[in-house]
Chain A
Amino acid sequence: MRHLLSTEQLSRENAILILDTAQEMSAVGEREIKKLPALRGRTVVNLFFEDSTRTRISFEAAAKRLSADVINFSAKGSSVSKGESLKDTAQTLEAMSADAVVIRHWASGAPAQLANSGWIDAAVINAGDGTHAHPTQALLDAFTMRAHWSKLQGSSSVGADLAGMRVIIAGDVLHSRVARSNVWLLRTLGAHVTLVAPPTLLPVGVEHWPCEVSYDLDAALEKGVDAVMMLRVQAERMNASFFPSAREYARRWGFDDARLAKLDALNLKDTIIMHPGPMNRGLEISSAAADSPRSTVLAQVRNGVSVRMAALYLLLSGEMREPAAAHHFPAAPPVKDHS
Chain B
Amino acid sequence: MNNPSAASGDGQPAPSSVSRVVLSAADIERALTRIAYEILEANKGGENLLLLGIPRRGFPLAQRLAAKLAASDPAIDPAAIVGQLDVTMFRDDLAQHPTMAPRRTELPASGVDGKTIVLVDDVLYSGRTIRAALDALVDLGRPRAVRLAVLVDRGHRELPIRADHVGKNLPTSSSEKVRVRLHEIDGGTAAGDQVVIEAGA
Contact = CB atoms under 8 A, between A and B. Distances in A.
Given A24-B104, A333-B100, A339 B90 contact: no
Interface residues of B, number: 47
A103 B99 CA distance: 23
Given A20-B101, A319-B96, A338 B122 contact: yes
Contact of B139 (A35, A66, A338): A35
Interface residues of A, number: 34
A152 interface: no
A289 B10 CA distance: 52
B35 interface: no
A23 to B, nearest CB: 8
Given A37-B135, A38-B89, A333 B124 contact: no
Contact of A339 (B5, B88, B95, B126): B126
A339 B128 CA distance: 6
B8 A335 contact: yes
A332 interface: yes
B99 A330 contact: yes
A33 B136 CA distance: 10
A336 B53 CA distance: 12
Contacts of A332: 8
A31 interface: yes
A20 B96 CA distance: 22
A27 interface: yes
B99 A335 contact: no
Closest 10 pairs between A and B when the two form their complex, measured CB to CB:
A334-B4, A338-B123, A318-B99, A333-B101, A339-B126, A335-B7, A38-B89, A36-B89, A33-B139, A339-B125
Interface of B: 1-8, 10, 54-56, 86-90, 94-105, 121-130, 135, 139-141, 154, 158, 178, 180
Given A27-B105, A317-B94, 15 more contacts: A24-B102, A31-B140, A317-B99, A318-B94, A318-B97, A319-B98, A328-B99, A333-B101, A334-B4, A334-B101, A336-B56, A337-B6, A338-B123, A338-B129, A338-B178
